[in-house]
Copies of this chain bind each other. A is one copy, B any other.
Amino acid sequence: MAVQIRKLDSTAPDFTQTLDALLAFEAETDDAIESAVARILADVKKRGDAAVLEYTNTFDRIPNGGAASMAAFDVGQAELDAALAALPDAQRDALRVAAERIRVFHERQKQELNGFTFTEPDGTVLGQRVTPLDRVGIYVPGGKAAYPSSVLMNAIPAKVAGVQEIVMVVPTPSGVKNQMVLAAASIAGVTRVITIGGAQAVGALAYGTESIPAVDKIVGPGNAYVAAAKRRVFGTVGIDMIAGPSEILVLCDGTTDPDWVAMDLFSQAEHDELAQAILLCPDADYIARVEESIHKLLPTMPRAATITTSLTDRGALVKVRDMEEACTIANAIAAEHLEISAEEPLKWADRIRHAGAMFLGRFSSESLGDYCCGPNHVLPTSRTARFSSPLGVYDFQKRSSIIQVSEAGAQTLGKVAATLAYGEGLQAHARSAELRLKS
Interface residues of A (CB under 8 A from B): 27, 90-91, 93-95, 97-98, 105, 108-109, 112-116, 118, 124-126, 128-129, 131, 133-134, 144, 147-149, 180, 216-217, 235, 237-238, 241-242, 257, 259-260, 263-264, 266-267, 269-271, 300-303, 307, 345-346, 349, 352-376, 379-380, 382, 384-390, 392, 394, 398-407, 409-410, 413-417, 419-421, 423-433, 435-436
Contacts and interface: CB of A to CB of B under 8 A. Distances in A.
B364 A128 contact: no
B364 A403 contact: yes
Contacts of A144: 425
A-side binding surface: helix, strand, loop or mixed?
mixed
B363 A436 contact: yes
Contact of A416 (B98, B392, B414, B430): B98
Contacts of A358: 129, 400-403
A373 B402 CA distance: 10
A250 to B, nearest CB: 11
Copies in the complex: 2
Given A235-B242, A402-B358, A429-B270, A417 B367 contact: yes
B432 A367 contact: yes
A114 to B, nearest CB: 7
Contact of A398 (B95, B269, B365, B385): B385
B94 A405 contact: no
Contacts of A364: 403-405, 410
A238 B416 CA distance: 33
A389 B397 CA distance: 9
A367 B430 contact: yes
A386 B134 contact: yes
B407 A363 contact: yes
Q: Indicate the member of A134, A406, A436 with the most B CB atoms within 10 Å.
A: A436
Contacts of A149: 420, 424
A-B CB proximity, top 7 nearest: A238-B387, A375-B401, A266-B428, A357-B401, A360-B404, A94-B419, A389-B399
Contacts of A112: 112-116, 128
